[in-house]
Amino acid sequence: MNIFLAIIILLVGALAGFAGGIFLTQRQTKKMLLENPPLNEEAIRMMMSNMGRKPSEVQVQQTLRQIRGAAKAQNTKKKKK
């Protein structure tokens, strides 16, 4: 009976560790993406110039703020649910 109980405890611990690891990894990834978005100023300049327009610094910063604001709004929207 002791071996059966030990195996059950081991399996429950492994499952809890797996679930906790997934949760923590997902949380860290979201935090990292909010702090360091994959789109930076250079990428935005490149996209605008590919569309045939020469962006000013004000336009680049405005676009960057809009992207970050949308990401934060989406994150807070998910937290409220």
Tens of pLDDT, residues 33-66: 878 777 888 888 998 899 988 889 999 999 988 9
How high is the pLDDT of residue 71?
79
> Which structure tokens are listed for 30?
């979201």
How high is the pLDDT of residue 39?
81
Report whether pLDDT(80) > 70. no
Torsion of CA 69, 75, 76, 77, to 10 degrees: 100
Alpha helix stretches (DSSP H) within 1-81: 2-35, 41-50, 57-80
